[in-house]
Amino acid sequence: MTAEDWKQKGKFINVFGNTVFVIDEGNTEETLVILHGYPTSSYDYYKVLPALAKKYRVIIHDHLGFGFSDKPQEYSYSLIEQADVALQLWKQLGLTKVTLLAHDYGTSVCTEILARHNRKQIDLQIDNLILCNGSMHIELSQLRTIQKLLKSKLTGKWVAKLTNYSIFKKNLRNVYFDKTQATEAELKEIWLQLEYNNGRKVIHLLSNYINERYFFWHRWIGALKETQIPTKIVWAKNDPVAVFAIAQLLATEIPNNKLLPLENTGHFPMLENPYEWLELVLV
């Protein structure tokens, strides 16, 4: 599926004055909301959406700064704000009861939502939680060199300007276990969405989420330790960034969880190994 095909499947919704791209498919009673990863978009789920939509009404939006959503240059791109946007979007869609799935960057948006949920600050019932390959325990994460450069206030802006498709392709392919699964056609479609709306001008701002993971560590890890929501930890074991040790540690901290490892798979399991990933998510 091309990026343009994906765009045609979705719709645009105004949230707090910015336009957010949203996929909304399936019409069953259960709703699944998905928070996608970095530096990609809701497109990560194009292979698994048909199967997910048989069980759920599936709602996936592009975070601000990502995919087809607005990418304002005068914006902080805090994970706190991304949580604000997600919650407001779901409210505008009339959601009151959901299963929440989060991957990578999305897991930190998720933990901010959990912190508020634990304190009864939001009017949303979260029945189940599914966490996939995210470096919530940032101290265990094996950050790529480009991530370190982009998150720096000194180098971020310049690295973003110099980033091109070749650099992007190499870095994304390197987080796959089976590199052949990161096809040229698919990588080009992902790159097109990154560039959409002058996306390269904000990618260094988006990268500050790594710093926030350190700053809000106690709030967000604390939220996971406190939550009573039944949680599935669906984790690709060969992720070179969000390493399996993070999943193992989370399994000792989250009160009501089940750890479901995925063999021979890297950082984007829903793209690299969609069928086995689906089996664990839908089990």
Residue 89 has pLDDT above 60, yes or no: yes
| CA pair distance 222, 1, nearest whole angstrom | 39
- Predicted confidence at residue 148, as pLDDT, reads 58
- Predicted confidence at residue 158, as pLDDT, reads 47
- Predicted confidence at residue 159, as pLDDT, reads 55
- Predicted confidence at residue 163, as pLDDT, reads 72
Give the confidence band of 247 by pLDDT, cuts at 50, 70, 90: very high
CB-based burial, 170-206: b 16+ in 10 Å, e otherwise: eebbebbbeeebbeeebbebbbbbbebbebebbbbbb
Task: Specify the residue for token string 């939680």.
Answer: 129
| CA pair distance 195, 65, nearest whole angstrom | 10
> Mean pLDDT, the chain, as a whole number?
93
Domain layout of the chain by residue ranges: 3-282
Q: 273, 262 in Cβ contact below 8 A?
A: yes
Q: 202, 71 in Cβ contact below 8 A?
A: yes
- Predicted confidence at residue 93, as pLDDT, reads 98
Q: 206, 235 in Cβ contact below 8 A?
A: no
Which amino acid makes up residue 34? Answer: I
Residue 154 has pLDDT above 90, yes or no: no
Q: Which residues contact 159 (CB under 8 A, 6 or more apart)?
A: 146, 149, 150, 204
Q: Are strands 257-262 and 231-236 parallel, antiparallel or unpaired?
A: parallel
Residue 274 has pLDDT above 70, yes or no: yes
38-42, 144-148, 161-165, 265-269: which has the minimum mean pLDDT? 144-148
pLDDT digits (tens, 9 = 90+) for 178-205: 999 999 999 999 999 999 999 988 988 8
Whether pTM > 0.85 for this model: the answer is yes
Residue 152 has pLDDT above 50, yes or no: yes
pLDDT digits (tens, 9 = 90+) for 205-231: 888 898 999 999 999 999 999 999 999
Q: Which residues contact 76 (CB under 8 A, 6 or more apart)?
A: 205, 208
- Predicted confidence at residue 207, as pLDDT, reads 84
Record: fold of 3-282: Rossmann fold (3.40.50)
Q: Which of 99, 89, 104 is nearest to 206 (CA)?
A: 104
- Predicted confidence at residue 161, as pLDDT, reads 62
% of the chain beyond a pLDDT of 70? 93
Range 130-159 average pLDDT: 72
pLDDT digits (tens, 9 = 90+) for 93-129: 999 999 999 999 999 999 999 999 999 999 999 999 9
